[in-house]
Structure 1
Amino acid sequence: MNKELAKKLAKVFMNKLSKDRVLLVQGSNFLGFVYDLYKKEKLFRDFVLNPKVPNEKKIVYLTELSKKFSMPSEVGEFINHLVELNAIPMLGEIKRVYDYEMEKFLKLSKAFLIVAKRVDDDTLQSVMAKIKQSLNRELEFEVLEDPSLIGGFVVKTSGMVIDASVKRVLERFV
Structure 2
Amino acid sequence: MKHEVVAKPYARALFGVATARMREEQVGQALAEVITTWDNDPEFAQFIRRPEVPSEAKRDAVGRVFPDLDAIVRQLIHIVIDKHREDLLSTIYAEYQRLWDEQRAVVQAQVITASPLTAQQQQDLVDVLSQATKRTVEVTVQRDPSLIAGMVVRMGDRVLDGSLARRLALLGDRLRSGDGGGSVVEH
> Which TM-score tier does this pair reach, normalised by the shorter chain?
0.7 to 0.9
Matches of 1:93 and 1:72, distance apart in 2? 19
Query: Which residue number corresponds to residue 48 of structure 1?
Result: 48
Question: Contact 1:21–1:106 (CA<8 Å) still a contact in 2?
Answer: no
Question: For the pair shown, which has the larger CA radius of gyration, 1 or 2?
Answer: 2
* 2:116 counterpart (105, 110, 118): 118
After TM superposition, the score normalised by the length of structure 1 is 0.79
1:33 to 2:36 alignment: yes
Query: Which residue number corresponds to residue 11 of structure 2?
Result: 10
Query: Which residue number corresponds to residue 100 of structure 1?
Result: 98
Query: Which residue number corresponds to residue 157 of structure 1?
Result: 155
Q: Which runs of 5 or more structure 1 residues have no equivalent in the other structure?
A: none
The percentage of counterpart residues that share the same residue type is 22
- Partner of 1:118: helix, strand, or coil? coil
Matches of 2:7 and 2:79, distance apart in 1? 11
- Total equivalences in the alignment: 169
Q: Which runs of 5 or more structure 2 residues have no equivalent in the other structure?
A: 173-187
Query: Which residue number corresponds to residue 139 of structure 1?
Result: 137
Correspondence list, 1:66-81, <5 A: 72-81=70-79
Question: Contact 2:130–2:137 (CA<8 Å) still a contact in 1?
Answer: yes
Question: Contact 2:149–2:164 (CA<8 Å) still a contact in 1?
Answer: yes
